[in-house]
Amino acid sequence: MISDRQLPVIYESLPPALGGMGDTVHAAKALARTLTGFGDIVDAVLVPQVEDESGGGLEVERYVKDDAIAFVARYLEAAQAPAPPTAIVAQPLTHLGGAAIESLLDRVAGAGIGALAVVGPSSRDQASVNPTSTVAAIARCAADPRIRTGAIAIHARNAEPARMLAKAGAGAEFFLSQIYYDADSMAATIAAYGRTCREADVKPARLFLSLVPVISPPTARLMARVINPGGRLPEPAAAIPSAAVGPGTVDYLHDLLAATLEAGSAAGVPLGVSIGHVTERNVRLSLELLSVVGQFK
């Protein structure tokens, strides 16, 4: 499974624009072909449920995306060795009641998906009373023996180590970090999480560091909205340095990862890497980054 290796790697791919099952099948087969040959590097595929502001989910100012669970199910049908056999979906659950969560878990397990990362409420949902808290949603998922459960870590929040401890206590086996381009703020969160776990005498859960190359300034502007929807997070955690944009983006992320892995080793926190592309123009760079990350395994 995803945490067996010393430095497991996840490849993150967005589902296609909503256009029917034909688009889903085509995109899933294309992803399987793309990752063939990366089976010695990539341990799992991650697909987040992405919707617009009217539909909940991860806050990305883009058109509504196709269903992540259906997309992953088609990927698993198309994937052949050495493509990654394990799949993860990231789903917003806090706007759902208990019965709806159980139904979603049945869909995830029925699709052969091995893990689910619970996404917390969006800024819109935070203003309302949610049927299920993030910790309670994690506990519901963790109680299902068919699925491994993870959660999201927002490294820019001062209270995040305590939040991570509570989520792990509810059953989160791993964390997916917010996309980041600043090693210092991530290292600070890792150190604080390690310290919090030592004080509580618990073993830290694995944290997957989310890295996305940035091909151009327009992509950087999109990424800024993905990282910091509504301008809620402080600088520099939400900033994308100019050195991270363009031809040098893979080299920048290599150095960023090397520095952050040192921080994880010093703090005693097990780490992994999650590599995404966000835009189709970034796919080639994300695969180049995969090859670079393979040098760390």
- Please report, for the domain that includes residue 62, its CATH number: 3.20.20.220
Classify burial at 136, counting beta carbons within 10 Å of its beta carbon; exposed 0-12, middle 13-18, buried 19 or more. middle
Q: What is the pLDDT of residues 207-242, one digit of tens each?
A: 999 999 998 888 888 777 777 665 666 555 567 889
The half-sphere exposure of 243 on its side-chain side, counting CA atoms within 13 A, is 8
Question: Quick check: is 115 in a domain?
Answer: yes
What is the reported pLDDT for 128?
Answer: 53
CA torsion 152-156-162-164 (nearest 10°) is: 20
Cis peptide bond prior to 236, omega within 30° of 0: yes
Question: Quick check: is 20 in a domain?
Answer: yes
Pair of tokens at residue 171: 């059953």
Pair of tokens at residue 39: 């089976």
Lowest mean pLDDT among 48-57, 168-177, 201-210, 288-297: 48-57
Q: Is 88 left (phi over 0), alpha (psi -120 to 50) or beta?
A: beta
What is the reported pLDDT for 156?
Answer: 73
pLDDT of 4 higher than 70: no
Question: Quick check: is 78 in a domain?
Answer: yes
Question: Quick check: is 292 in a domain?
Answer: yes
CB of 209 within 8 A of CB of 155?
Answer: no
What is the reported pLDDT for 67?
Answer: 84
Q: How many domains does the chain have?
A: 1
Question: Quick check: is 143 in a domain?
Answer: yes
Pair of tokens at residue 276: 């995404």
Q: What is the pLDDT of residues 48-80, one digit of tens each?
A: 886 544 333 444 444 445 688 988 999 998 887
Question: Quick check: is 36 in a domain?
Answer: yes
Question: Quick check: is 4 in a domain?
Answer: no
Domain that residue 110 falls in: 9-296
CB of 219 within 8 A of CB of 295?
Answer: no
Residue 14 dihedral angles phi and psi, to the nearest 5°: -85, 145
pLDDT of 196 higher than 80: yes
The reported pTM is 0.89
User: Comparing C-alpha atoms, which of 100, 84, 108 is closest to residue 28?
Assistant: 84
Question: Quick check: is 48 in a domain?
Answer: yes
**What single-letter DSSP state applies at residue 159?**
T
Pair of tokens at residue 131: 């049927």
Distances (CA, A) of 193 to 9, 182, 189, 190, 281: 21, 17, 6, 5, 35
In angstroms, the CA 129 to CA 51 distance is: 20
